[in-house]
Amino acid sequence: MVAHRSAKYFIPMLHTRLTYSRPVFAISRQYTTTKTTIFREIPEDAPLRDVRENLRQLGGGSVELTMNHRTSIAYILLNNPSKKNSFSGKMMAELADIVDALEKHVCDSEGVDGTTPEGVKAVVKTKEQEDIRGVILHGASETFCAGFDLSVARSHMLSKAGGQQMSRLMHNTFTRFHNLPLVSVAAVEGYAIGGGAEATTACDFRVLHRDALVRFVHANMGIVPGWGGANRLTRLVGRRNALRLLGTTEILSAEQALEIGFADEIASEDESALASSEIFLSRFIFEDPESALPYLKQHSSGGLNSTTEDASSPPPPMHAPESLRGLKQCVIATDLEGAKGLAEERRVFVSLWGGPANLAAVSRPPSKSKHRKK
Ligand SMILES: CC[C@H](C(=O)O)C(=O)SCCNC(=O)CCNC(=O)[C@H](O)C(C)(C)COP(=O)(O)OP(=O)(O)OC[C@H]1O[C@@H](n2cnc3c(N)ncnc32)[C@H](O)[C@@H]1OP(=O)(O)O
């Protein structure tokens, strides 16, 4: 039965007044829109690839990956500014594509299963200096993300099957992203609302602009987080704070976010969250972040592909990518039950001991000066 959007199909129990007071009218199963796009409802257990392709046809905007090989930082840009970078179905599919690409770049692509800590086997595959060590998730036009694109929801995805598909794909994508053996930072400007707030929890760290606002609005919509955000938020800030943020839907300022441990840093007065995130990441990347700052500023292009060879300034010494990736693997392996986590840590250690970076470090003469606190 093909229903057309109109008030007479409005089903009171699904009517919800959204945070920007746009009523959402429910329509029934098969959808057509003015663009005669048919959103196919597919079986619950359909391959995730089918779900991704089904969603790809919905809505606009884009998610863009760029890699800066000079600074070893990758950037994922949520780009849907006319809708506050909210996620359309197309953007959900593109984010999944990008996580595929990053997994291939940093993991042994033979059978990587990024949804489980055991499934993530980091490798160093390209020349050390080119290897990506960190990734920043950020939004266009000075805002982070307003969650799910509600115009897509209204037009195509208010059925149980639509919600199930969308949630299944986003759970998979954000779990794989969270498990990537890269150090990830959410650079939050403006708003991170609903699924946008959930997206920040999929990163290892959060750097907020001093005016940024974070809000888990799901309770106002008669639901709970649909992208894994409640689970990750609870691990981040503890049960008490998580339940308060989710249950009251209170707006979290940058200061409050820092106070409860949700945010790791607030951008300094005259700095964007993106620039502050690059400096934050540089502490993981460069052996001496302070002295690497001029190089970082010269080459960090906010996500433009910067592979221009600049002979005048070879990159400052960086931590071996395999060591950083191994450390991330050890941390996510703590999700494994019992002794499995320790076993994974030992496996990573053995895989690195005696490797090129370890041999180079061991052969360096010890020097107490390098342990002086700056
Ligand atoms: C699991 C995911 C979860 C779920 O599915 O339950 C969700 O994420 S549901 C979505 C939750 N997000 C929201 O409720 C945020 C709604 N938006 C707002 O509260 C405001 O737009 C805000 C605070 C983000 C920005 O307010 P501001 O006054 O600065 O701008 P406008 O409200 O005028 O918005 C500008 C422009 O963007 C469109 N917009 C904003 N958010 C969304 C969205 N989530 N989906 C689609 N479109 C969105 C808004 O309609 C305006 O467009 P215009 O054509 O100019 O009216």
pLDDT, tens digit only, all 374 positions of the chain = 333 434 333 333 333 333 333 433 333 344 444 444 446 777 888 899 999 999 999 999 999 999 998 899 999 999 999 999 999 999 999 999 999 999 988 876 655 678 877 777 666 554 544 589 999 999 999 999 999 999 999 998 888 888 999 999 999 999 999 999 999 999 999 999 999 999 999 999 999 999 999 999 999 999 999 999 999 999 999 999 999 999 999 999 999 999 999 999 999 988 999 999 999 999 999 999 999 999 998 888 654 444 555 545 678 999 988 899 899 999 999 888 888 999 999 999 998 999 888 998 899 887 765 676 65
pTM: predicted TM-score of the whole model, two decimal places: 0.87
Task: List Cβ neighbours of 146 (8 Å cut-off, separation of 6 or more).
Answer: 83, 84, 85, 86, 191, 193, 194, 196
Closest-CA residue, ligand 1 atom 37, reads 83
Q: How do the domains of the chain map onto residue ranges? A: 48-110+129-297, 320-362
For the Cβ of 84 lying below 6 angstroms from any atom of ligand 1, the answer is: yes
Burial class (CB in 10 A: 0-12, 13-18, 19+), 222: exposed
Q: Tell me how far the alpha carbon of residue 119 lies from the centroid of ligand 1, in angstroms.
A: 36
118 three-state secondary structure: helix
Question: 48-110+129-297 — its CATH code?
Answer: 3.90.226.10
For the Cβ of 174 lying below 6 angstroms from any atom of ligand 1, the answer is: no
- Among 18, 19, 20, 88, name the best residue to mutate to test ligand 1's pocket (greatest count of ligand atoms within 8 A of Cβ): 20
346 three-state secondary structure: helix
Angstrom CA distances, 41 to 36, 161, 166, 341, 349, stand at 15, 6, 11, 39, 46
Asked if 36 contacts 49 with a C-beta cutoff of 8 angstroms, the reply is: no
Q: Give residue 209's identity as a one-letter amino acid code.
A: H
134-139 and 73-79 strand pairing: parallel
For the Cβ of 87 lying below 6 angstroms from any atom of ligand 1, the answer is: no
C-beta atoms surrounding 8 within 10 Å: 7
Q: Tell me how far the alpha carbon of residue 144 lies from the centroid of ligand 1, in angstroms.
A: 11
User: In terms of Cα–Cα distance, which of 89, 7, 105 is closest to 53?
Assistant: 89
Q: Report ipTM (2 d.p.).
A: 0.98
Q: What is the pLDDT of residue 365?
A: 83
User: In terms of Cα–Cα distance, which of 129, 132, 77, 78 is closest to 104?
Assistant: 132
Burial class (CB in 10 A: 0-12, 13-18, 19+), 68: buried
Q: What is the pLDDT of residue 15?
A: 35
Asked if 89 contacts 59 with a C-beta cutoff of 8 angstroms, the reply is: yes
d(CA 52, CA 170): 10
d(CA 199, CA 87): 10
Entry field: residues in the chain: 374
Strand intervals (E) in the chain:
62-68, 73-79, 134-139, 183-188, 191-193, 205-208, 213-215, 252-253, 265-266
Closest-CA residue, ligand 1 atom 56, reads 83
For the Cβ of 150 lying below 6 angstroms from any atom of ligand 1, the answer is: yes
- Among 58, 150, 252, name the best residue to mutate to test ligand 1's pocket (greatest count of ligand atoms within 8 A of Cβ): 150
